[in-house]
């Protein structure tokens, strides 16, 4: 047995019909108000209805455009790049901050690891996570930032090189 909504052509067709109806009502009421029909404005009969219809139209069209162009946020979870990009970094390091800012500005997701503190010119910093620090050293150096792209099999150390690489492959 078909529902009334199915007999009308489904929710999309009903929504499209309602959008056209609202557009017509809004346009008619606005034109009537703007065409110098002072009696219509004075009585307040059509203009408020037209204004409400236009607001509903704008919201309906906006939501339709948002859905059609994929501008709706996903249901959650981790973006696809989060599993393939690993950033070994320290919070106080200005070079790591440069990479994080670039990723934030460009919507690039990554998994962040903090194996040690930033350190100084003479010391390597204090190890805060031995397992992650061992992974960091396993890539060849005890240097941060380190970006590992597991999908492409690449690893880069210098912040300028990392930003350039991300710009080329993920922007």
Distance set, CA 98 to CA 20, 31, 43, 101, 121 (Å): 49, 54, 62, 5, 18
Please give the chain's pLDDT, 171 residues, in tens: 556 555 555 556 666 666 667 667 666 666 665 555 555 555 655 556 666 666 776 777 666 666 665 555 555 555 566 678 999 998 888 999 999 999 999 889 999 998 887 776 666 778 888 888 888 888 888 888 999 999 899 999 999 999 999 999 988
- Is 80-170 assigned to CATH 3.40.30.10? yes
**What residue segments make up the domains of the chain, in order of their start?**
4-68, 80-170
């Amino acid at each position: 047995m078909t529902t009334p909504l199915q007999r009308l052509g489904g929710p999309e067709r009903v929504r499209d019909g309602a959008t056209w109806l609202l557009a017509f009502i809004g346009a008619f009421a606005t034109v009537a108000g703007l065409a110098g029909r002072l009696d219509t404005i004075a009585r307040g009969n059509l203009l408020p209805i037209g204004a409400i219809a236009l607001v509903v139209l704008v919201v309906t069209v906006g939501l339709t455009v948002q859905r059609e162009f994929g501008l709706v946020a996903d249901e959650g979870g981790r973006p696809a790049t989060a599993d393939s990009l690993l950033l070994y970094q320290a919070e106080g390091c200005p070079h790591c901050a440069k990479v994080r800012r670039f990723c934030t500005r460009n919507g690039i997701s990554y998994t962040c690891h903090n194996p040690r503190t930033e350190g100084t010119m003479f010391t390597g910093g204090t190890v805060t996570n031995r397992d992650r620090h061992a992974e960091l050293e396993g890539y060849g150096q005890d240097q941060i930032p380190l970006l590992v792209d597991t999908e492409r099999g690449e690893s880069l150390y210098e912040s300028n090189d990392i930003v350039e690489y991300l710009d080329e492959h993920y922007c």
